[in-house]
Amino acid sequence: MEERIIDKDELRGVKRRRTDGEEDVVDELSSDAEQPEEAAQDYTLEFEGDDYDEDLVGLTPSQLKEELERRERLRAEAHAESEKRVAAGDEKFAAGEYAAAAEQFRDALGYEYSAGTEEKLYAAVTENYMNVRPLLERETAEEFSAADEACRARVLEAFGEQLRAERAEADARAQPLRERVSAAQAERRAPFAANRKYYLVRFLACLAALVVFAVGILVSSSYLLRTQSSVPTILTIVFGVLTFLAFVLFIYLSRKLIVAVRLCRENEKLSSTEEGAQLAGLEERIACLDLVLGTKTQEGAEEAQ
Protein backbone atom coordinates (compact mmCIF):
# COMPACT_ATOMS: atom_id res chain seq x y z
CA MET A 1 0.00 0.00 0.00
CA GLU A 2 1.35 3.32 -1.02
CA GLU A 3 2.19 5.61 1.86
CA ARG A 4 0.58 9.05 1.83
CA ILE A 5 2.17 11.95 3.63
CA ILE A 6 -0.24 14.60 5.05
CA ASP A 7 1.02 17.83 6.46
CA LYS A 8 -0.27 19.42 9.68
CA ASP A 9 -2.57 21.92 7.93
CA GLU A 10 -4.24 19.13 6.05
CA LEU A 11 -4.76 17.17 9.24
CA ARG A 12 -7.21 19.79 10.54
CA GLY A 13 -9.76 18.82 7.88
CA VAL A 14 -9.56 15.07 7.97
CA LYS A 15 -10.59 12.24 10.21
CA ARG A 16 -9.20 8.74 10.40
CA ARG A 17 -11.30 5.60 10.26
CA ARG A 18 -9.78 2.15 10.80
CA THR A 19 -11.26 -0.66 8.68
CA ASP A 20 -9.96 -4.24 8.16
CA GLY A 21 -6.65 -3.37 9.65
CA GLU A 22 -6.09 -0.60 7.17
CA GLU A 23 -6.22 3.07 7.86
CA ASP A 24 -8.33 5.21 5.51
CA VAL A 25 -8.09 8.92 5.56
CA VAL A 26 -11.34 10.73 4.78
CA ASP A 27 -11.29 14.43 4.16
CA GLU A 28 -14.29 15.95 5.98
CA LEU A 29 -13.99 19.18 4.06
CA SER A 30 -13.91 17.55 0.65
CA SER A 31 -17.57 16.37 0.49
CA ASP A 32 -20.57 18.33 1.59
CA ALA A 33 -22.81 15.28 1.16
CA GLU A 34 -21.08 13.51 4.03
CA GLN A 35 -21.45 16.50 6.34
CA PRO A 36 -23.85 15.74 9.22
CA GLU A 37 -26.69 18.19 9.62
CA GLU A 38 -26.05 20.85 12.19
CA ALA A 39 -27.35 19.64 15.49
CA ALA A 40 -30.17 21.59 17.03
CA GLN A 41 -28.93 23.92 19.69
CA ASP A 42 -30.63 25.46 22.71
CA TYR A 43 -30.37 29.19 22.84
CA THR A 44 -30.67 31.21 25.98
CA LEU A 45 -31.24 34.91 26.38
CA GLU A 46 -30.00 37.22 29.05
CA PHE A 47 -32.42 39.80 30.43
CA GLU A 48 -31.77 42.73 32.66
CA GLY A 49 -34.01 43.84 35.51
CA ASP A 50 -37.75 43.38 34.93
CA ASP A 51 -37.32 42.53 31.23
CA TYR A 52 -36.93 38.81 31.94
CA ASP A 53 -39.42 36.76 29.95
CA GLU A 54 -39.43 33.02 30.52
CA ASP A 55 -41.41 32.44 27.32
CA LEU A 56 -38.42 33.57 25.25
CA VAL A 57 -35.90 31.30 26.93
CA GLY A 58 -34.76 28.37 24.80
CA LEU A 59 -36.09 29.66 21.49
CA THR A 60 -34.02 29.27 18.36
CA PRO A 61 -33.13 32.47 16.52
CA SER A 62 -35.90 31.93 13.97
CA GLN A 63 -38.47 31.22 16.66
CA LEU A 64 -37.30 34.21 18.67
CA LYS A 65 -37.62 36.43 15.63
CA GLU A 66 -41.15 35.20 14.93
CA GLU A 67 -42.21 35.69 18.54
CA LEU A 68 -40.80 39.21 18.74
CA GLU A 69 -42.46 40.12 15.44
CA ARG A 70 -45.76 38.74 16.71
CA ARG A 71 -45.50 40.76 19.90
CA GLU A 72 -44.60 43.88 18.00
CA ARG A 73 -47.59 43.35 15.74
CA LEU A 74 -49.90 42.97 18.73
CA ARG A 75 -48.46 46.11 20.32
CA ALA A 76 -49.06 48.02 17.09
CA GLU A 77 -52.65 46.78 16.89
CA ALA A 78 -53.27 47.66 20.55
CA HIS A 79 -51.78 51.12 20.01
CA ALA A 80 -54.03 51.70 16.99
CA GLU A 81 -57.14 50.61 18.93
CA SER A 82 -56.14 52.80 21.86
CA GLU A 83 -55.63 55.84 19.62
CA LYS A 84 -59.01 55.19 18.00
CA ARG A 85 -60.80 55.23 21.33
CA VAL A 86 -58.88 58.23 22.60
CA ALA A 87 -59.99 60.17 19.51
CA ALA A 88 -63.61 59.11 20.12
CA GLY A 89 -63.27 60.11 23.77
CA ASP A 90 -61.92 63.52 22.82
CA GLU A 91 -64.97 64.10 20.64
CA LYS A 92 -67.36 63.10 23.42
CA PHE A 93 -65.49 65.24 25.92
CA ALA A 94 -65.62 68.29 23.66
CA ALA A 95 -69.37 67.75 23.27
CA GLY A 96 -69.84 67.64 27.05
CA GLU A 97 -70.74 63.94 27.08
CA TYR A 98 -68.43 63.16 29.96
CA ALA A 99 -69.76 59.71 30.90
CA ALA A 100 -69.39 58.48 27.31
CA ALA A 101 -65.95 60.06 27.08
CA ALA A 102 -64.84 58.35 30.30
CA GLU A 103 -65.97 55.01 28.89
CA GLN A 104 -63.91 55.54 25.73
CA PHE A 105 -60.81 56.59 27.67
CA ARG A 106 -61.15 53.59 30.00
CA ASP A 107 -61.37 51.27 27.00
CA ALA A 108 -58.28 52.92 25.52
CA LEU A 109 -56.34 52.25 28.72
CA GLY A 110 -57.37 48.62 28.47
CA TYR A 111 -55.51 48.39 25.16
CA GLU A 112 -52.49 50.52 26.05
CA TYR A 113 -51.58 52.46 29.15
CA SER A 114 -50.78 56.12 28.76
CA ALA A 115 -50.45 58.73 31.50
CA GLY A 116 -52.04 61.27 29.18
CA THR A 117 -55.05 59.03 28.54
CA GLU A 118 -55.41 58.35 32.25
CA GLU A 119 -55.46 62.09 32.96
CA LYS A 120 -58.15 62.51 30.29
CA LEU A 121 -60.13 59.72 31.94
CA TYR A 122 -60.33 61.47 35.30
CA ALA A 123 -60.97 64.81 33.67
CA ALA A 124 -64.02 63.16 32.09
CA VAL A 125 -65.01 61.38 35.33
CA THR A 126 -64.98 64.68 37.23
CA GLU A 127 -66.76 66.48 34.36
CA ASN A 128 -63.77 68.62 33.47
CA TYR A 129 -62.83 69.05 37.16
CA MET A 130 -66.23 70.50 38.05
CA ASN A 131 -67.85 67.58 39.93
CA VAL A 132 -66.03 65.22 42.29
CA ARG A 133 -69.09 63.09 43.17
CA PRO A 134 -68.57 60.39 40.50
CA LEU A 135 -65.01 59.90 41.77
CA LEU A 136 -66.31 58.90 45.22
CA GLU A 137 -68.06 55.77 44.01
CA ARG A 138 -66.32 52.72 45.44
CA GLU A 139 -65.13 51.14 42.19
CA THR A 140 -63.95 54.46 40.75
CA ALA A 141 -62.21 55.41 44.00
CA GLU A 142 -60.33 52.10 44.05
CA GLU A 143 -59.33 52.61 40.44
CA PHE A 144 -58.18 56.16 41.14
CA SER A 145 -56.10 55.05 44.15
CA ALA A 146 -53.81 53.15 41.72
CA ALA A 147 -53.57 55.97 39.19
CA ASP A 148 -50.37 57.75 38.15
CA GLU A 149 -49.08 60.21 40.75
CA ALA A 150 -49.18 63.14 38.32
CA CYS A 151 -52.80 62.35 37.48
CA ARG A 152 -53.72 62.09 41.15
CA ALA A 153 -51.98 65.37 41.89
CA ARG A 154 -53.98 67.11 39.14
CA VAL A 155 -57.30 65.90 40.57
CA LEU A 156 -56.35 66.62 44.18
CA GLU A 157 -55.21 70.09 43.18
CA ALA A 158 -58.78 70.78 42.11
CA PHE A 159 -60.64 68.93 44.87
CA GLY A 160 -58.17 68.26 47.69
CA GLU A 161 -59.42 70.86 50.15
CA GLN A 162 -63.06 69.97 49.53
CA LEU A 163 -62.40 66.26 50.00
CA ARG A 164 -60.43 66.75 53.20
CA ALA A 165 -63.22 68.90 54.64
CA GLU A 166 -65.78 66.23 53.75
CA ARG A 167 -63.58 63.58 55.32
CA ALA A 168 -63.41 65.50 58.61
CA GLU A 169 -67.17 66.14 58.58
CA ALA A 170 -68.02 62.51 57.90
CA ASP A 171 -65.70 61.32 60.66
CA ALA A 172 -67.23 63.78 63.13
CA ARG A 173 -70.72 62.47 62.33
CA ALA A 174 -69.61 58.84 62.48
CA GLN A 175 -67.83 58.99 65.83
CA PRO A 176 -70.91 59.18 68.12
CA LEU A 177 -72.71 56.63 65.95
CA ARG A 178 -69.81 54.22 66.32
CA GLU A 179 -70.14 54.34 70.10
CA ARG A 180 -73.91 53.88 70.14
CA VAL A 181 -73.96 51.13 67.52
CA SER A 182 -71.12 49.26 69.22
CA ALA A 183 -72.91 49.45 72.59
CA ALA A 184 -76.16 48.20 71.04
CA GLN A 185 -74.35 45.31 69.36
CA ALA A 186 -72.70 44.31 72.65
CA GLU A 187 -76.07 44.48 74.43
CA ARG A 188 -77.71 42.16 71.91
CA ARG A 189 -74.70 39.88 71.53
CA ALA A 190 -75.15 37.95 74.82
CA PRO A 191 -78.84 36.98 74.30
CA PHE A 192 -78.18 36.02 70.69
CA ALA A 193 -75.18 33.90 71.71
CA ALA A 194 -77.20 32.23 74.47
CA ASN A 195 -80.01 31.47 72.03
CA ARG A 196 -77.52 29.94 69.58
CA LYS A 197 -75.98 27.81 72.32
CA TYR A 198 -79.43 26.64 73.44
CA TYR A 199 -80.35 25.26 70.04
CA LEU A 200 -76.86 23.96 69.31
CA VAL A 201 -76.86 21.73 72.42
CA ARG A 202 -80.29 20.33 71.57
CA PHE A 203 -79.36 19.87 67.94
CA LEU A 204 -76.30 17.82 68.85
CA ALA A 205 -78.26 15.72 71.38
CA CYS A 206 -80.96 15.04 68.79
CA LEU A 207 -78.32 14.09 66.22
CA ALA A 208 -76.73 11.65 68.67
CA ALA A 209 -80.13 10.09 69.45
CA LEU A 210 -80.91 9.80 65.75
CA VAL A 211 -77.67 7.90 65.19
CA VAL A 212 -78.30 5.60 68.17
CA PHE A 213 -81.83 4.79 67.02
CA ALA A 214 -80.66 4.12 63.47
CA VAL A 215 -78.01 1.74 64.79
CA GLY A 216 -80.70 0.09 66.93
CA ILE A 217 -82.76 -0.59 63.80
CA LEU A 218 -79.77 -2.21 62.09
CA VAL A 219 -78.87 -4.38 65.07
CA SER A 220 -82.37 -5.54 65.90
CA SER A 221 -83.27 -6.20 62.26
CA SER A 222 -80.18 -8.40 61.90
CA TYR A 223 -81.78 -10.88 64.37
CA LEU A 224 -85.11 -11.16 62.56
CA LEU A 225 -84.07 -14.24 60.60
CA ARG A 226 -81.92 -15.75 63.32
CA THR A 227 -84.56 -16.34 65.96
CA GLN A 228 -88.20 -17.26 66.29
CA SER A 229 -88.70 -14.71 69.06
CA SER A 230 -90.81 -11.61 68.41
CA VAL A 231 -88.44 -9.40 70.41
CA PRO A 232 -86.27 -8.34 67.40
CA THR A 233 -89.42 -7.44 65.47
CA ILE A 234 -90.78 -5.33 68.33
CA LEU A 235 -87.39 -3.63 68.83
CA THR A 236 -87.11 -2.90 65.13
CA ILE A 237 -90.54 -1.26 65.11
CA VAL A 238 -89.80 0.73 68.28
CA PHE A 239 -86.45 1.93 66.98
CA GLY A 240 -88.06 2.80 63.63
CA VAL A 241 -90.69 4.98 65.33
CA LEU A 242 -88.06 6.63 67.54
CA THR A 243 -85.84 7.27 64.51
CA PHE A 244 -88.70 8.93 62.66
CA LEU A 245 -89.52 11.15 65.65
CA ALA A 246 -85.85 12.01 66.13
CA PHE A 247 -85.53 12.88 62.46
CA VAL A 248 -88.53 15.24 62.63
CA LEU A 249 -87.09 16.89 65.72
CA PHE A 250 -83.69 17.07 64.02
CA ILE A 251 -85.19 19.01 61.09
CA TYR A 252 -86.98 21.38 63.49
CA LEU A 253 -83.87 22.06 65.57
CA SER A 254 -81.75 22.48 62.43
CA ARG A 255 -83.97 25.32 61.24
CA LYS A 256 -83.98 26.94 64.67
CA LEU A 257 -80.19 26.70 64.89
CA ILE A 258 -79.76 28.26 61.42
CA VAL A 259 -81.96 31.19 62.47
CA ALA A 260 -80.02 31.62 65.73
CA VAL A 261 -76.68 31.64 63.90
CA ARG A 262 -78.02 34.10 61.34
CA LEU A 263 -79.18 36.46 64.11
CA CYS A 264 -75.70 36.42 65.63
CA ARG A 265 -74.13 37.26 62.29
CA GLU A 266 -76.67 39.94 61.47
CA ASN A 267 -76.02 41.57 64.82
CA GLU A 268 -72.37 42.05 63.84
CA LYS A 269 -73.39 43.88 60.65
CA LEU A 270 -73.81 47.63 60.84
CA SER A 271 -76.88 47.49 58.64
CA SER A 272 -78.83 45.42 61.20
CA THR A 273 -80.30 48.60 62.74
CA GLU A 274 -81.29 52.04 61.45
CA GLU A 275 -78.38 53.75 63.16
CA GLY A 276 -76.09 50.96 62.02
CA ALA A 277 -77.17 51.44 58.41
CA GLN A 278 -76.49 55.18 58.74
CA LEU A 279 -73.06 54.43 60.19
CA ALA A 280 -72.34 51.93 57.38
CA GLY A 281 -73.06 54.64 54.81
CA LEU A 282 -70.71 57.05 56.55
CA GLU A 283 -67.98 54.43 56.85
CA GLU A 284 -68.28 53.66 53.14
CA ARG A 285 -68.02 57.36 52.33
CA ILE A 286 -64.95 57.73 54.58
CA ALA A 287 -63.33 54.68 52.97
CA CYS A 288 -63.83 56.13 49.48
CA LEU A 289 -62.50 59.53 50.58
CA ASP A 290 -59.42 57.84 52.02
CA LEU A 291 -58.82 56.00 48.75
CA VAL A 292 -59.11 59.19 46.71
CA LEU A 293 -56.99 61.24 49.11
CA GLY A 294 -54.42 58.48 49.40
CA THR A 295 -54.49 58.61 53.20
CA LYS A 296 -55.16 54.91 53.48
CA THR A 297 -54.53 51.91 51.25
CA GLN A 298 -57.42 50.05 49.71
CA GLU A 299 -56.82 47.10 52.02
CA GLY A 300 -56.79 49.34 55.07
CA ALA A 301 -60.03 50.96 54.01
CA GLU A 302 -61.71 47.56 53.61
CA GLU A 303 -60.55 46.50 57.07
CA ALA A 304 -61.88 49.72 58.56
CA GLN A 305 -65.22 49.12 56.90
145-158 pLDDT, tens digit per residue, is 999 999 999 999 99
193-233 pLDDT, tens digit per residue, is 999 999 999 999 999 999 999 999 999 988 888 878 888 89
Contact between residue 135 and residue 126 where contact means Cβ atoms under 8 Å apart: yes
pLDDT for res 32: 46
Q: Per-residue pLDDT for 267 more than 50?
A: yes
Distance CA 121, CA 105 (A): 5
The band of 166, judged by pLDDT with boundaries at 50, 70 and 90, is: very high
Cβ neighbours of 139 (radius 10 Å): 8
36-78 pLDDT, tens digit per residue, is 444 444 444 454 544 566 777 777 888 888 888 888 999 999 9
- In terms of pTM, does the model score above 0.85? no
Distance CA 235, CA 220 (A): 6
- Quick one: average pLDDT of 112-121? 93
DSSP state of 273: S
